[in-house]
Amino acid sequence: MFNATNSVSIKTKELVILSMFSAIIVLLSATPIGFINLGFIKATIIHIPVIVGSIIMGPRMGSVLGLVFGMTSLINNTMTPVVSSFVFSPFIPVPSMSSGSPWALLICFVPRILVGIVPWYIYQLSRKLIKNKKLDFIGLTIAGVVGSATNTLLVMNLIYLLFKDEYATIRGVAHDAVYGIITSIIIVNGVPEAIVAGILTTFICKTLLLVKGKND
């Protein structure tokens, strides 16, 4: 028989957990370690609570956390811009123009929303492929790495597709050298971010999934 009270309790619990993860994202965004200023671009660790939230709560709630991540990125790049902030905020003028570009919203939000969706599917797929529960950590690690890579690869490649000429201008390089710079950023920033995300996702999710299993 359908239990309306139990259903409301579950929804309330989900909203509480969602609020907690959202608060963590907002709190991180307000600290120097949330968005690390590297001069031309900002590195981030905010994708980690989005990845963890995706695995724990599913892609629907994960996408909401990704939306929150994107919003903090928009605000941060608008309020404390660096040279490349025009690719994340339509309120920052594009080089050689007097206004920003609405395409910045695509870069700012779409990759971050997908960070809240992809890890859940990666983890669920790994559970089907890896039957041994003792090896469950492998799926968590892969989900963390892929979630981080989703953000890095989509953001950097969208920058190349949408703002290649402008990016060449601010870096002072030829247009055909832009993708080389994009690749170097993916390697120098993206690889360490993915490794850290894989490690932290594994440890955090193993603990949270254990608690969640006891409470279900």
Predicted local confidence at residue 12, as pLDDT: 84
Per the structure, the count of domains in the chain is 1
Instruction: Report d(CA 69, CA 29) in Å as an integer.
Output: 8
pLDDT in tens, 83-138: 999 999 999 999 988 899 999 999 999 999 999 999 999 999 999 998 888 888 99
pTM (two decimals): 0.90
Q: Tokens 């259903």 belong to which residue? A: 7
The continuous run of DSSP H or E covering 86 comes out as: none
Q: What is the CATH number of the domain that holds 200?
A: 1.10.1760.20
Phi, psi of 43 (to 5 degrees): -80, 165
Is the pLDDT reported for residue 63 higher than 70? yes
Average pLDDT of span 57-68: 96
Half-sphere exposure of 179 toward its Cβ, with a 13 Å CA cutoff? 5
User: What residue numbers bound the domain in which 22 lies?
Assistant: 4-215
40 pLDDT tier (thresholds 50, 70, 90): low
B/e letters for 16-39, b = 16+ CB within 10 Å, e = fewer, are ebbeebbebbbebbeeeebbeeee
Query: For the chain, how big is the Rg over CA atoms in Å?
Result: 19
Is the pLDDT reported for residue 4 higher than 80? no
pLDDT in tens, 167-215: 999 888 898 999 999 999 999 989 999 999 999 999 999 999 887 765 5
Specify the DSSP class assigned to residue 93: P
Residue type, 136: D
Instruction: Report d(CA 162, CA 102) in Å as an integer.
Output: 11
